[in-house]
Amino acid sequence: MPAPATPPFRLDGKVAAITGAGSGIGKAIAERFAQQGAVVALLDIDGAAAAAVAAALVATGARARAVPCDVTRDQDVRAAFATVQQQFGRLDVLVNNAGIGHVGTAESTLEDDFDRLYAVNVKGVFLCTRAALPLLKATRGAICNLASIASLIGVAERFAYSMTKGAVLTMTKSVAIDYLQHGIRCNCVCPARIHTPFVDGYLRQNYPGQERAMFDKLSAWQPMGRMGTPQEVADLVLFLCSDEAAFVTGQAVPLDGGKLVS
């Protein structure tokens, strides 16, 4: 069989907008996409963090721009995607990564917590997707949403978080079916626990002096005995947004260290 004309999973000539790209998983996705030739727009409510990541990418020879954006505000989102269009002239990929976590049951979750998670994790995906779709129609582009293992199974004390990630999964399937005729693919990734700065901050705040023991406990929840890495998430997102996944849409792809088969 002849070798492919170009290496797989390349994004040369494509423009990708990634929300929550200033840290953690979003930062890893931005870095991976840039390595594969994409022009990257880094959307984040923390403009300074996004600017630092963008500057580091530019220093490697990549094309990247930070775009401050609060995904819960329609005006911010519209302005951000107008900036992407003005700066780069197109959009080929949207990664809805921005999200926040919460620990609590139905009884212990406060109304303010519930509303805050809905605003970022659900409304944010809606607003960004709606703003991006006119641009993606022109390029027959791809969307990848960050859902969670909590979209697929019950996870203790993640009531509000699970609600939002279940919504991300069903929004993914809805967009996939509604925009098939426009050549737009939409998938989501469902990670188990990923070692990000959020995890370290959560352990410091809630388990001072016991961070190592709790980290090991959280790691052992995955049958592989460890948390995933942001880079592993980025690699799966890259595949789903690449031409190699051209026949994949409407799917929720686990990245769970064996949790679903345990």
Catalytic residue among 161, 179, 202, 207: 161
Locus of tokens 């409407």: 250
Same domain, 235 and 143: yes
Q: Which tens digits make up the pLDDT trace of 205-242?
A: 989 999 999 999 999 999 999 999 999 999 999 999 99
Same domain, 133 and 213: no
Q: Using 50, 70 and 90 to split pLDDT, how confident is the model at 1?
A: low
pTM score, whole prediction: 0.95
- Based on the residue annotation, tell me whether 161 is a catalytic residue of this protein: yes
pLDDT of residue 202: 86
Residue 3, domain member (yes or no)? no
Least confident interval from 78-92, 98-112, 197-211: 197-211
Q: With a cut of 80, say whether residue 81 has pLDDT above it.
A: yes
Residue 9, domain member (yes or no)? no
What range defines the domain where residue 64 resides?
Answer: 15-192+230-255
Count: domains in the chain: 2
pLDDT of residue 73: 98
Q: With a cut of 90, say whether residue 176 has pLDDT above it.
A: yes
Same domain, 243 and 188: yes
Across the range 79-103, mean pLDDT stands at 97
Residue 201, domain member (yes or no)? yes
φ, ψ for residue 105, nearest 5 deg: -95, 180
